[in-house]
Structure 1
Amino acid sequence: MGLLYESTGFVGWGIWFFVLFALMAFNEFSRTTKWGGITLFLVVPVVLTIFVWPTTAAPGNEYGTGTWFNWVKTYSALAGCLGFMLIRYYPSIAKKKWVLLFPPGILALNILEACIRDFQVFMYGAWDGAYIDNLWVMSGPWNIMNGVAGLLNIIAICGWMGIYVSRDSSKDMIWPDMIWAWIIAYDLWNFAYTYNCISDHSFYCGLALLLACTIPTFFIKKGAWLQHRAHTLALWIMFVMTVPSFADQIAPVPTTHNPTAFFVVSLLSLLVNVALVAYQFYRIRKYKLNPLKDEIYVGTKAYKEVQEENLLAV
């Protein structure tokens, strides 16, 4: 598979596509039915927390699922899903402006967690690559580059005061200002993070997982990227915590462990996020906007498409 991954065959790609479409299918189930969301993001995690994860995600286990990062990421993703459900299904909550700080807050927290992890991997000093906490990592300048890219991505989070609930039956949490430019910058940053810090798992938790929320955003339900992302991330990490051997033994697709690949992926992430912040700053200056209150992309084609699909729906 060239610079990024070792080659995989028909079966490997078949498993990858199964993961992708399974995540999208369960996301649709949880998105379009209230009881589906409650089952997947409240009932199932409680059962797994009590009966399964203490064993499969025990500290120091051979698959690396017992690290602080995995546990924090699991519950922060679930908190996002449940918090968004409160906004979606209880109008009195959604009408409170201060509640709209929760979506950008939980998003920024998730990005910051990953930035800290990138910086942590750099501090390991594993310049030639090493297994640390049973995960293969290679320290290098790419960790710093991508950590900075993630911080820029946080700075570029905008327009949260425009969040609302769609008028159709699915009652999705819509964020019109989160247009394709921010989403692509996030995807590149997050893929670089998975490549840097969960390297040999990134074929799934990078490529498949990111596409599982990006495809629905562009082709199924526009404007609901954060909701798609929270659902698919929670689903994936619950699966990994439950079946930790999946990416290492059941269907492994390791990276090439090539320093050039790490550098190129993180450089692209950094450059795109620098460009995103610069473009947002340009729009803020040009239209005299307040980035803490105003929506940055009002008037753009992408913004209008989201509004037309969700505000006019009945």
Structure 2
Amino acid sequence: MLFQLYSSSAAMQLLGWILVFAGLILFNEIGRRTKIGGMIVFVIIPVILTVYFIAIQAGAFGGLSNPTRAYMNGWFHYFKLYAADIGCVGFMMIKYKWGLGKKEWFKWWPWFIVSANIMIANVSDLESAFAARGITGDFSGAWWASNEGVFIYGGWWNILNFIAGMINIFCMTGCVKLLTSNDKNKSDMLWPDMTIWFILAYDVWNFEYTYLNLPTHSWYCGVALLLAPTFANAFWNKGAWIQNRANTLAIWCMWAQVVPLFQLKGRFAAALPRIYGGATEAGITTMDLYEKAIAIFNAGDGKTVAANEAMAQMGITADPTAQGVVAIAAVVINVVCIMVIIKRSIKAGRNPYSNNVFEGTRDFEEAMARAER
């Protein structure tokens, strides 16, 4: 069991998950199907939110007490939102052939933006591993409190996931072989060579990243957020996974930035991962953990034994079993994926990054059947 779904809040947590999953799919469909929808979701709304964020910093809309400023004021949250949205706009430029989207060299943009996001996550994994090492002297595991108000249990699993993430970057093949879908509205930017091989390798790695580094958020941003684009790709939108992934990530970041208490407090507060052993039984909530963690971080003790002492006082015993198992799985699936890529590219005598590797596979051919010729 990855999450503690056996409390009196379990039914509402499951309902919250369904609402997030369905909402992400719905708004992705609005954003991808038409130019107007895309402009509204990924240009107009972000512009309005930017004005809102600036106004909050100036003291409007509650100022310091505004939930966005109180709970989501770190640079990482804003960076993730705008990085994801810039990716979405770039993908729109490619599929509609707007401006730079007409240029052949700009087709490297999706590979660049995905690689950059993977590297940011990889750095987070290393930070967590070495934060734990700074406390215990090794990578056996230790609690530390992040600037996002999260108790993180760093250790060797972060090192493994870092390795999986590095391999995952090289599992993106056919990077410039991007196409536009052949429907009337040209709804999708297609990356035909990004088949189920990469998608599964990415999903397992990225889930582990959220599970390790954003554990109190991973019920939503690790499970619902990853499954939404994968679900769409599997059933009606073959070949457009990366577009769906960027879209749903930007949509989730906008929602989480404006309504942070949705996952922190109340009936839909995120289910706690297994790592927080005994928390649910002790009545410890996601909000309890946030308040304690942010207090320790603000006191300058985030990467000291203070975090471990605080967890012990709350009666929480670290259970990193799931963290370790998923980290091993992430490495294995990414190694298998890169081995398949090497084998197929050698057999075809092709550079796997400037050429397609998975021609002839079902996923690739189904994506090509949707492409403009």
Same fold (TM over 0.5): yes
Is 1:240 aligned to residue 239 of structure 2? no
1:260-275 alignment runs, 5 A limit: 260-275=321-336
Shift of 1:57: 4.1
Aligned position for 1:106: 113
Any idea what SS the aligned residue of 1:291 has?
coil
Shift of 1:12: 1.7
- Structure 1: distance between partners of 2:46 and 2:325: 37
- Cα shift readout 1:11-41 (whole Å, capped 9, x = no counterpart): 2211110110010000000111211111111
Any idea what SS the aligned residue of 2:354 has?
coil
Shift of 1:160: 1.7
Aligned position for 1:288: 349
| Structure 2: gaps spanning 5 or more residues | 58-65, 136-140, 276-318
Paired residue for 1:169, among 173, 184, 201? 184
Is 1:209 aligned to residue 225 of structure 2? yes
Paired residue for 2:163, among 129, 144, 148? 148
Aligned position for 1:301: 362
| Structure 1: gaps spanning 5 or more residues | none
Any idea what SS the aligned residue of 1:129 has?
strand
Paired residue for 2:130, among 123, 131, 148? 123
Contact 2:179 2:372 in 1 (8 A): no
Aligned position for 1:84: 91
**Match for 2:120: what amino acid?**
E
Any idea what SS the aligned residue of 1:76 has?
helix
**Match for 1:255: what amino acid?**
P
Shift of 1:157: 1.0
Any idea what SS the aligned residue of 1:216 has?
helix
Shift of 1:67: 2.8
Is 1:136 aligned to residue 151 of structure 2? yes
- Cα shift readout 1:47-95 (whole Å, capped 9, x = no counterpart): 212224645444xx4x3x3333222211110000111111122367444
Any idea what SS the aligned residue of 1:309 has?
coil
Shift of 1:310: 3.0
Aligned position for 1:279: 340
Is 1:196 aligned to residue 212 of structure 2? yes
Shift of 1:216: 0.6
Any idea what SS the aligned residue of 1:130 has?
strand
Between Structure 1 and Structure 2, the one with more helix by share is 1
Deviates more, 1:163-172 or 1:21-30: 163-172
- Cα shift readout 1:263-287 (whole Å, capped 9, x = no counterpart): 1111111110011111111111122
Aligned position for 2:4: 5
- Structure 2: distance between partners of 1:120 and 1:169: 47
**Among the aligned pairs, what percent are the same residue?**
36
CA RMSD of aligned residues (A): 1.8
Task: Give the length in aligned residue pairs.
Answer: 307
Shift of 1:308: 1.5
Shift of 1:3: 4.1
**Match for 2:362: what amino acid?**
K
**TM-score w.r.t. length of structure 1:** 0.92
Aligned position for 1:23: 24
**Match for 1:36: what amino acid?**
G
- Structure 1: distance between partners of 2:179 and 2:143: 45
**TM-score w.r.t. length of structure 2:** 0.78
Any idea what SS the aligned residue of 2:257 has?
helix
- Structure 2: distance between partners of 1:240 and 1:51: 14
Contact 2:358 2:364 in 1 (8 A): yes
- Structure 2: distance between partners of 1:50 and 1:311: 38
Q: 1:5 to 1:39 in 2, by over 3 A?
A: same
